[in-house]
Amino acid sequence: MPADASPWPDLPAVAEFLYEEAALLDDWKLPEWHALFAPDGWYLVPNTFGDPYAPVEQSLYIIADDPHHVSERVKRLMKRSAHAEQPRSVTHRLIGNVRILGRDSAEMRVQSSFITHRTSQGVTDSFFGRHEYRLVLLAGALRIREKRTLLRTGSLRPQGRLSLIV
């Protein structure tokens, strides 16, 4: 490999990875979405006030799923007993402004803007903000070590609940 060659994919390939993630979530393919995570992958949604980068042990998070809890969230949402998602929400995610913020030999930092529209029980809500990713290469494929979703709605009202994966 030439000295200036990087094992990391370029911006269009990274954007395609994020679009695929959004499509899996919209199609309710949650086990396939979970497979995009590295074994040590976290899913974080900080509260809409305070420091969004505070350690999870020291701050209130809307969602702070370690690898075990990401897996359990997927299992729970796939069950018919997940009452908050029965019938399942219809979602449509828009991903844009994908940027590579940095990379080193261990991981790549990526950011994107998002809007997630959800229709459930005749009510449509919109969630918007920024996703921040720490991506790793495992067996030559991108995987999510951390997905941090920063909601910009100010609060969850009028939505009031967050039963889906933003």
67 is a domain residue: yes
48 is a domain residue: yes
Answer positive or negative: Cα dihedral of 13, 97, 28, 39. Answer: positive
Please count the structural domains in the chain: 1
135 is a domain residue: yes
CATH code for position 144:
3.10.450.50
pLDDT in tens, 106-154: 999 999 999 999 888 888 888 899 999 999 999 999 999 999 999 997 6
Pick from 3-12, 36-45, 137-146, 149-158: least confident: 149-158
Full domain range(s) for residue 58:
11-151
2 is a domain residue: no
166 is a domain residue: no
Torsion of CA 44, 45, 50, 55, to 10 degrees: -10
List b or e across 53-85, with b for residues whose CB sees 16 or more CB atoms inside 10 angstroms. eeeeeeeebebbbebeebeebbeebeeeeeeeb
Looking at residues 33-58, what average pLDDT do you find?
Answer: 94
143 is a domain residue: yes
pLDDT in tens, 68-82: 999 998 998 888 765
Residue 88's pLDDT is: 78
Average of per-residue pLDDT values in the chain: 88
24 is a domain residue: yes
165 is a domain residue: no
Q: What percent of the chain has pLDDT over 90?
A: 67
